[in-house]
Amino acid sequence: MRFQRAFVRFVAAAVAIVAPIAVASTRAGAEFTPNHTEYHPLTFPVVEPVHYFDDFGGVRHHPGNDLMGTKLDHELAANSGTITFARADSSGHSGNMLILTGDDGWKYWYIHINNDTPGTDDGLNPAQWRFAPGIAEGVHVKRGQFIAYLGDSGEAETTDPHLHFELHRPDDTVIDPYTSLRLAQGAGANGLCSYPSNPTPHPTAAAGPGFWTLNPDGTVLRFGNVPTLGNAPATTADNPYVALASTPSGKGYFVVDAHGDVDAFGDAHDYGGADGLHLNQPVLGIAPTADGKGYWLLARDGGIFSYGDAAFYGSTGAMTLNAPIVSMASTPGGRGYWLLASDGGVFSFGNAHFWGSTGAMTLAAPVTSMIATGAGGYLLLARDGGLFSFGNSHFLGSLPGTGWCPGPTALAFVKTPKAAGYWMLLSDGRIMAFGQAQPWGEPAAVNAKPVAIAAAQ
């Protein structure tokens, strides 16, 4: 559509002459893709196949997208709302047009509605082939309802038939509808591939004071109201730091490298490590005991090394595993623990109860981490950010539930100590906050890509 600036003036005048219908609405807030492009959920406004591209703005100052289709294609209500403007005059720039004001306060403009007798280009503008039966100003329509026929009225007489579709915020400012249209078709745009489906978060600072993250070189970054306690000493490339865990007081943490050497900071105490032992597989995790006076180190083959008051309850070191061990979690009282394999298989030791696993499921991505959510359950995290809940644990959101297009993977997550929530660490250094977890910041802001996360208690 070859819009000139005069089009905007024309429509403004038309709306001024014919006062739009006033409607009450529940105003919806702005929503943004991962790259901060604004969008708004809607139903795609044409039933039949159309082709279009992002022709918003540019040198033509084009205020919408042109959906190129076939004359008399069916145009649909993008959302439930009221028809607040209807123009049944095929002349001028816009030709026949409708404005639908949604119950959400947003406005949807439909321009170049049909003005021809079927099978012709006669421009006679027959009433029965403009708008759907019963469509007029003041009529309330439902989302997806047939409201008009696609055509070439107005300045579109010199182009192929199309719907010029505009998307306006409740304050009447126009935004590029391209991302909203793509999402309505189940396609991706600007980093978002589907509408978000996660439960609504309710972040609160009372959920936990913050967290630390660990870089492979031993650098520890703090976020929220947690103290700076120090970094681990320099290491070699073949022996990166791999694990981080906080003390029960939240005033200290343990840092572990792949050889099993433990460094303690704050009120954490070094009870020993596996760096002097011959390891069949590298160390990948640490789990402190309930009182913080001991800990278990976990090797990739499921070998367990106990220090301080940590009791040995068993391991998978002598088992033939279907998949390597990737994570562990201790029971709240510290008298047992679970080991997690990358296929989602869960192994219970001591007083740890088996609540279920994904071992028999076909997974979209390997499982990478687990957290105990109390005495009666645990959550498993997959590399694609998917969550699996077992026992009395609660699903509060996942990376796929954000609607993001595939990109960064999930490395680990940690629960909030005082409320229902968790923080998820992504491979690009971003931190996702779910449930009541407060978004305290993320390592990506300083171009850091950590490998572990620990929450202050």
**What CATH number does residue 436 fall under?**
2.130.10.10
Task: Work out the percent of the chain whose per-residue pLDDT is above 70.
Answer: 93
DSSP state of 128: G
CA-based torsion, 52, 56, 58, 62: positive or negative: positive
Residue 196 CB neighbour total at 10 angstroms: 14
226 and 326 share a domain?
yes
Q: How far apart are CA 325 and CA 341, in angstroms?
A: 4
Strand ranges, E, within 89-194: 96-102, 107-113, 140-141, 146-149, 162-168, 174-175
**Residue 28 pLDDT:** 59
Residue 196 within any structural domain of the chain: no
Residue 325 within any structural domain of the chain: yes
For the chain, what is the mean pLDDT? 92
300 and 172 share a domain?
no
**Which residue is associated with the tokens 């591939």?**
193
Q: pLDDT digit string (tens) for 94-117?
A: 999 999 999 999 999 999 999 999
**74 has a pLDDT exceeding 80:** yes
Q: 250's torsion region: left (phi>0), alpha (psi -120 to 50) or beta?
A: left
Task: Work out the percent of the chain whose per-residue pLDDT is above 90.
Answer: 86
Q: How far apart are CA 9 and CA 26, in angstroms?
A: 29
Q: 90's torsion region: left (phi>0), alpha (psi -120 to 50) or beta?
A: alpha
Residue 200 within any structural domain of the chain: no
212 and 95 share a domain?
no
Strand ranges, E, within 356-409: 367-374, 377-382, 387-391
361 and 425 share a domain?
yes
**6 has a pLDDT exceeding 90:** no
35 and 97 share a domain?
yes
Q: Give the end of a domain, one of 149, 184, 219.
A: 184
**Residue 326 pLDDT:** 97
The arithmetic mean of pLDDT across residues 295-300, rounded, is 97
Residue 189 within any structural domain of the chain: no
Q: How confident is the model at residue 457 (pLDDT cuts 50, 70, 90)?
A: confident
- pTM here? 0.84
**Residue 430 pLDDT:** 96
Q: pLDDT digit string (tens) for 372-406?
A: 987 699 999 999 999 999 999 999 999 999 999 98
Give the amino acid at 149: Y
Q: Which two tokens stand for residue 364?
A: 């979209």
**Residue 333 pLDDT:** 87
CA-wise closest residue to 420 among 263, 206, 219? 206
CA-wise closest residue to 453 among 444, 269, 345? 444
**59 has a pLDDT exceeding 70:** yes
Q: Give the end of a domain, one of 135, 150, 184.
A: 184
Residue 197 within any structural domain of the chain: no
125 and 37 share a domain?
yes
Residue 190 within any structural domain of the chain: no
85 and 158 share a domain?
yes
Q: How confident is the model at residue 30 (pLDDT cuts 50, 70, 90)?
A: confident
Q: Which two tokens stand for residue 29?
A: 């807030």
Q: How confident is the model at residue 324 (pLDDT cuts 50, 70, 90)?
A: very high
Q: How confident is the model at residue 2 (pLDDT cuts 50, 70, 90)?
A: very low
**198 has a pLDDT exceeding 80:** yes
SS3 27: coil
Q: pLDDT digit string (tens) for 227-262?
A: 999 999 999 989 999 999 999 999 999 999 999 999
Q: pLDDT digit string (tens) for 208-224?
A: 999 999 999 999 999 99
Q: Which domain holds residue 442?
A: 205-455
**Strands 431-435, 174-175: parallel, antiparallel or unpaired by DSSP?**
unpaired
- 429, 444 in Cβ contact below 8 A? yes
- Considering its fold, how many domains does the chain have in total? 2
Residue 447 within any structural domain of the chain: yes
283 and 385 share a domain?
yes
Q: Give the end of a domain, one of 131, 152, 184.
A: 184
**Residue 15 pLDDT:** 34
177 and 266 share a domain?
no
Q: pLDDT digit string (tens) for 118-161?
A: 999 999 999 999 999 999 999 999 999 999 999 999 999 999 99
Residue 192 within any structural domain of the chain: no
159 and 306 share a domain?
no
Q: pLDDT digit string (tens) for 156-187?
A: 999 999 999 999 999 999 999 999 999 999 99
**325 has a pLDDT exceeding 90:** yes
265 and 216 share a domain?
yes
3-state helix, strand, coil split of the chain in percent (to 5) is 10, 35, 55
295 and 327 share a domain?
yes
Give the amino acid at 55: D
- 420, 414 in Cβ contact below 8 A? no
**Residue 21 pLDDT:** 54
CATH number of the domain bearing residue 149: 2.70.70.10
